[in-house]
Structure 1
Amino acid sequence: MFAPYRRLFSAKGSVGFTLTGFLARLALSMSGVGTVVMVAAMRHSYALAGAVGGSSLAATLVTIPLLGRLVDRYGQSRTAVPAAIWSAAMSAALVGCLATGAPAWTLFVTNVLSATAPNVGGMARARWAELYGDDDARMHVANSFEQVLDELCFVLGPVVVVGLATGIAPAAGRIAPLVLTLGGTVLFSLQRGTEPPVRAAGSSAARSPLTNRGLRVMTLVLLFTGSLFGSLEVVTIAFTDSLHHRSAAGPVLALQAVGSALAGLLFGMLTPRGSSTTRFLTGVGGMAVLMLPLTLAGSLWSLVPLMFLAGMATSPTMITGMGLVQELIPRSQLNEGMTLAVTGLLGGSSLGSVLAGWSVERFDAGDGYLLPVGAATLALLTAAAGLGRLRASVSAARLPAPAGDDTAELGQRA
């Protein structure tokens, strides 16, 4: 049953970069929650905690694409290790400012400056592309596995943070991701045998991958998908609180991630049928359909199965979507293209959180589930409207690159 995954790890070094990369990726799922919990406990203000945490998220919208471009230009290890060292140092400074009672503005400055943690998930996907880029079946399994790892991180991360913060000290939930970011990134970078080589870029390298029309469509769809995730989290917390079960918010949200992870694991065992663009549109449509029943939730017990169901289309959609991004972008700009996709998700998540926070304070908490349903619908409409551009861009990207230009100039102009 798990034969596709066993074959995936037959490549030398694949286990090493997967295990070490998992540590750094787990840190990314812990940092934001750890910051909010730590600031709220030590400064007794959720407003300040949310603002400080949000400042780092806003900064990553700038730093993540920049780091992706630097990785493509100079290589993973040469870029990721200095970025992780700087991030760890600024995270330590944030903890120090809190411990010494420094002014609130120092918390914002240090947390913004800490937003240089490398996107190890994107770098791991680039390594799989280097190993199996010419094998569509194995890349499908690799992307499925990576999505399952992402879901696992976002299930485990917040639980670990809360356990450390309440069981040891408030700062422990922020120190742990600091250590994991640095240690995991260094260990990941030491796996040199699977690191993609730096490719000499052609005449299109100076342009952003966003000049690719297909990637612009994907980024917009992922923006709405991120809005779905961000709004779903805030609305679920508010809804469980309105039911006097606020402590159940974490487990209920985890059910959505569990449903997504199981669907991703099973999806990886299937042989892909049809074009990647059609599969992506189908996945986004399934995500919109499975979100709709959440509007019927009237109690905690009705919410539990509906959240699990809502997660079932998430991983297949993200797996196909990340595979599409890899098809659209030439190898010499793969890390930057992947980080732009992640930036769309993060920006959407931030937007969804803000809109959901405004909504649940003014309307009934249960009605807030119309927001993730609406975000999923907008993602579907955008994917459907942009399907022609996606197909044209994928077709152009598969053409041989013009002589002297290995960046698939035609794919960039599609």
Structure 2
Amino acid sequence: MITRSCPAPTGVAVRPRLVPAPYRRLFAAEGAAAFTGAGFLARLALAMSGVATVVMVSSTHGSYALAGLVTFASLITTLVTMPWLGRLVDRFGQARVAVPAAVWSSAWTAVLVVCAVLRAPAWALIAASVLSTTAPNVGAMARARWAEIHDGDAVAMHRANSFEQVLDEVCFVVGPVLAVGLATSVAPWAGKVCSLVLTLAGTLLFAAQRRTEPPVRAAAPGSAADGRSTAPLRQPGIQVMTLTFLCTGAVFGSLELVTVAFTESVGHGSLAGVVLGLQAAGSAVSGLLFGVVAWRGGPVRRFLAGVAGMAVLMLPLTFAGGLGALVPLMFLAGAATSPTMITGTGLVQELVPRERLNEGMTLTTTALLGGIALGSAVAGWFVERHGPGHGYALPAVAAVAALAVAAAGAALLRRGVRGVRVEPAALV
């Protein structure tokens, strides 16, 4: 990927510089608002899906352990299906792959809902959940569209990545609240049905925006010589990012399930979505600020700082003794999430060639979802045996693990981004 760069002078301190009107120009491009609005629906469905499954299964079958296991089975399957779908998108185009994948996913999600309502055995829930894991990664496809629109303009790409992360966090503010609200006020399965409808409608509308769909690209001539034509997962830098995002996902998965269990244990189960939304709200606020500030210093350094901040800010949750203490701590816990994800996305865009961009971004998203599955399953087991009171130790441990992986692999990340840089001149 050919981009502009400007190395930082030796000895220059890291300091922020405000950028005026950072987001307004993003939507001057024709079609940008249309694909963003359409993609929001599908991404909202993803934000609803996990907690909707937990609430539905725990309500119909009376077991958090089973709810965690069903979520784990669904998300762990994405370790195979999502990179495969990303590779197909790079090869055949977004619309040709996303539409049939969304239809298949929605059909099996409907089967999962029926199984839950009929109180089918655990194997039926798990089978339906596994078969429903073909929902396309609309977030990665949207970022690929921004990369096409702003090809070579790294300042605009920093803002686009920041905006995309904030949009993700908005989804994770609204999604859990909507899912839990529907499940508690309408029926246990209502949140999952809403997620199904949004997945199908959002993906179809997104795919219909053909003007901004990136063209299918062949491998760049000569790329084999520098090793950039290899599969993204074979690149050491992507391996580090994948493992780091796996641990980060475990933070989110354990946090989600423990919060649902904790709020129920203190008699406020209907507020689980609101409490989870506070963590996403904190992340959204920090993401907006991060996007309008141009930070001096390299992307690897900023990524490490974000992961370290996430580890530090998760620790206070272990001292939450009630809902009153939990509310502000959840907002604070989200403050480092967006900066970590924004810089992580930028690193991935540097580490993979453009013709493998969907696959590369989907790998880290898959790792994130796989980590959510792992965190959810472990948290379900922990809560069943030890209660939710000490459950917030789990996301704290996972955040420390993410920091350890990122720090250990920092040299590989720097080696991967040495040479062509995606950093804008204003950010270095």
* Structure 1 position 260 matched with structure 2 position 283: yes
Match of 2:414 among 387, 391, 394: 391
* C-alpha distance 6-212 of structure 1, shift in aligned 2 (>3 A): same
- C-alpha contact (below 8 Å) 1:140/1:272 kept by paired residues: no
Q: CA deviation at 1:255?
A: 1.2
Q: How many residues align?
A: 399
Aligned residue identity for 1:332: E
* Structure 1 position 377 matched with structure 2 position 400: yes
Q: CA deviation at 1:317?
A: 0.8
Question: Partners in 2 of 1:40 and 1:65 — Cα distance?
Answer: 30
* C-alpha distance 195-225 of structure 1, shift in aligned 2 (>3 A): same
Please state which structure has a larger fraction of its residues in helix: 1
Aligned residue identity for 2:155: A
Question: Which is worse superposed, 66-75 or 390-399?
Answer: 390-399
SS in 2 for 1:381: helix
SS in 1 for 2:397: helix
Question: Which is worse superposed, 45-54 or 315-324?
Answer: 45-54
Aligned residue identity for 1:388: A
Corresponding residue for residue 76 of structure 1 = 94
Corresponding residue for residue 330 of structure 1 = 353
Question: Please, which runs of 5 or more residues in structure 2 have no aligned partner?
Answer: 1-18, 423-428
Corresponding residue for residue 5 of structure 1 = 23
Residues 332-380 of structure 1: CA deviation (Å, up to 9, x unaligned): 1111111110111112222222333344455574443333222222222
Question: Partners in 1 of 2:63 and 2:261 — Cα distance?
Answer: 18
C-alpha RMSD over aligned residues: 2.5
- How do 1:10-409 and structure 2 match up within 5 A? 10-42=28-60, 46-97=64-115, 105-201=123-219, 207-363=230-386, 365-396=388-419, 398=421
Q: CA deviation at 1:279?
A: 0.9
Question: Which is worse superposed, 380-389 or 44-53?
Answer: 44-53
SS in 2 for 1:134: coil
SS in 1 for 2:136: coil
Question: Please, which runs of 5 or more residues in structure 1 have no aligned partner?
Answer: 400-414
- C-alpha contact (below 8 Å) 2:116/2:125 kept by paired residues: yes
Higher RCO (Cα < 8 Å, 6 or more apart): 2
- C-alpha contact (below 8 Å) 1:63/1:116 kept by paired residues: yes
Question: Which is worse superposed, 279-288 or 244-253?
Answer: 244-253
Residues 301-352 of structure 1: CA deviation (Å, up to 9, x unaligned): 2222222111111111111111111111111111111111011111222222
Q: TM-score, normalised by structure 2?
A: 0.85
Question: Partners in 2 of 1:38 and 1:225 — Cα distance?
Answer: 25
Aligned residue identity for 1:372: P
Question: Which is worse superposed, 150-159 or 208-217?
Answer: 150-159
Aligned residue identity for 1:137: V
* C-alpha distance 100-234 of structure 1, shift in aligned 2 (>3 A): closer
Question: Partners in 2 of 1:105 and 1:363 — Cα distance?
Answer: 25
Sequence identity percentage:
64
Residues 49-75 of structure 1: CA deviation (Å, up to 9, x unaligned): 443333222222211111011001111
* C-alpha distance 253-165 of structure 1, shift in aligned 2 (>3 A): closer
Aligned residue identity for 1:185: T
Q: TM-score, normalised by structure 1?
A: 0.88
Question: Partners in 2 of 1:245 and 1:39 — Cα distance?
Answer: 19
